[in-house]
Amino acid sequence: EVQLVESGGGVVRPGGSLRLSCAASGFTFDGYGMNWVRQAPGKGLEWVADITWNGGNTDYADSVKGRFTVSRDNAKNSLFLQMNSLRVEDTAFYYCARDGLSDGSGPYYFDSWGQGTLVTVSS
C-alpha cells in the first residue's frame, strides 16, 4: 500500500523559514516524480512544486519561485520542501503527492496523497 506521511508544519513569522518532509513507503520511490500541492484553509488546491524521479529537474508555481526549493533523498525514500521568505499567503495545508505514472515523461495527475501538514505564517 502506498503511504505518504508529511511532517514539519507549524507556525512561523512572516519572512521565516520552514522545511517540510514527506516519508514514502509501499512503492519504489525512485521510480516516480513527486509533488507538493497546497490548500489554504477553506480554499481550493494549488500545485506548488515537482521533482523528477532522480531529482534532475524541478519546477515551481510562480507564486513560490525563488523562495521554495523541492528536493528528494531516494536512499531514504523522502521528499522535502524548503520554504524561505514565507508570507502570510503561504498559510495552507501542504500535501505530498505522487505522479500517476512512472515512465519519466509528463505532466501527470496525482494518484496518491499524504494527509497533509499545516503551515501557518502569522505575526
Partner 1 sequence: ERVMTQSPATLSVSPGERATLSCRASQSVSSNLAWYQQKPGQAPRLLIYGASIRATNIPARFSGSGSGTEFTLTISSLQSEDFAVYYCQQYNIWPRTFGQGTKLEIK
Q: Count residues contacting partner 1 (CB under 8 A)?
A: 20
Which x/- pattern, by CB under 8 A, does the window 49-78 give for partner 1? ----------x-xx----------------
Out of 12, 30, 100, 120, which residue is the one contacting partner 1 (CB under 8 A)? 100
| C-alpha dihedral, 99 to 54 to 51 to 28, nearest 10° | 30
Q: What is the DSSP string of 81-96?
A: EEE-S--GGG-EEEEE
Strands (E), the chain: 3-7, 10-12, 18-25, 34-39, 45-51, 58-60, 68-73, 78-83, 92-99, 110-113, 117-121
Nearer to partner 1, 18 or 112 (CB): 112
Residue 26 is a binding residue for partner 1 (CB under 8 A): no
Among 8, 46, 77, 78, binds partner 1 (CB under 8 A): 46
Footprint of partner 1 (CB under 8 A): 44-47, 59, 61-62, 95, 100, 106-116
